[in-house]
Structure 1
Amino acid sequence: MRLVIATCSVDYAGRLTAHLPLATRLIMVKADGSVLVHSDGGSYKPLNWMSPPCTLTVAEPDDAERADGVTAVWTVQNGKTDDRLVVRLHEVAHDSSHDLGVDPGLVKDGVEAHLQVLLADQVETFGAGWRLVRREYPTPIGPVDLLCRDDEGVAVAVEVKRRGEIDGVEQLTRYLELLNRDPLLAPVRGVFAAQEIKPQARTLAVDRGITCLTVDYDALRGVDDPSTRLF
Structure 2
Amino acid sequence: MKAIIALIVFLLSLLTSHISQAQTINWESLHEDQKHILNVNAGWDYSFVYGLSYGYHLKTKIPIILESSISFASGEVIFDDFKTKIGGQLNLYQIENFRFNVSFHGIYRRYGNPLVTLQNFGADAGIVIGLYKPKWFIAGEFGFDKAIVTHFKHSHIYKEVYPDVKNGWYEPATGGNFNFGIQGGYSFTRSDITLRAGKVMSEDFKSTPLIPFYVQLGYNYKLD
Please tell me the TM-score bracket, short chain as reference.
Answer: under 0.3
Q: Whose RCO is larger (CA < 8 A, sep 6+)? A: 2
Which structure's residues are more often strand, by fraction? 2
Q: Normalising by structure 1, report the TM-score.
A: 0.27
Higher helix share: 1
Q: What's the TM-score, normalizing by structure 2? A: 0.27
| Higher Cα Rg, which structure | 1
